[in-house]
């Protein structure tokens, strides 16, 4: 019997992407510190956070399940000029972030970590998408901030929402920017 897939995330976007890709899975959110380890490079910082989520989810799930399962954890960061931008602290911070991104490119990196419960086998990898923003006016930025959409999103925008109108073009998987690169998930699952 195939092990059950468990998404250890409270992200509605990740849940939606997995559902649309035809996966059958349970959702068991976990909370961990998402403060990056400054001793690691940016890619490894993001992988480290995804692994922390898996480490937190595994014992929690093992205590309540008898069947074998694979836990899926992910972390998505918006990287500008080599540093993660994170989610805006307030409206002014959202403005600062969007002003930074205006007319320039940034990267969205998602780390995916899968761990199999009975063997402890882990596979993880990152996916990167480059996003090019057009020049934004102050009016556009404040109008967007007024929608409330940027406030809970890394980089202060959602490409699948109204923030998508700021994107001139991108290179790499779109779903990676939304929060979960589904092709990478399929590829990693095939290793079990």
> For the purposes of burial, counting CB atoms within 10 Å of the CB of 151, is it exposed (0-12), middle (13-18) or buried (19 or more)?
middle
Chain position carrying tokens 């490079």: 41
Distance CA 145, CA 94 (A): 7
Q: Strands (DSSP E) along the chain, which ranges? A: 4-7, 26-27, 69-80, 83-84, 105-116, 122-133, 167-171
Among this protein's residues, is 81 annotated catalytic? no
- The interaxial angle of helices 12-20 and 182-189, nearest 10 deg, is 70
The H or E element containing residue 92 is helix 91-101
Q: Characterize the bridge pairing of strands 105-116 and 26-27.
A: unpaired
Residues 26, 67, 75, 90: which is the catalytic one? 75
With contact defined as beta carbons under 8 Å apart, do 94 and 150 qualify? Answer: yes
Catalytic residues: 75
């Amino acid at each position: 019997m195939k092990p059950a897939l468990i998404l250890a995330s409270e992200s509605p976007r990740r849940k939606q992407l997995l559902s649309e890709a035809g996966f059958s899975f349970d959702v068991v959110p976990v909370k961990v510190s998402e403060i990056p380890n400054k001793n690691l490079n940016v890619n490894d910082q993001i992988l480290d956070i995804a692994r922390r989520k898996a480490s937190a989810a595994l014992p929690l799930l093992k205590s309540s399940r008898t069947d074998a399962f694979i836990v899926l954890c992910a972390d998505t960061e918006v990287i500008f000029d080599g540093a993660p931008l994170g989610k805006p602290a307030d409206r002014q911070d959202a403005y600062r972030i969007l002003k930074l991104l205006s007319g320039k490119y940034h990267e969205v990196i998602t780390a995916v970590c899968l761990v199999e419960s009975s063997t402890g086998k882990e596979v993880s990898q990152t996916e990167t998408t480059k996003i090019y923003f057009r020049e934004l006016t102050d009016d556009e930025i404040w109008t967007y901030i007024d929608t409330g959409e940027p406030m809970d999103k890394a980089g202060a925008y959602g490409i699948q929402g109204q923030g998508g109108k700021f994107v001139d073009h991108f290179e790499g998987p779109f779903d990676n920017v939304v929060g979960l690169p589904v092709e990478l998930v399929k590829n990693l699952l095939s290793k079990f």
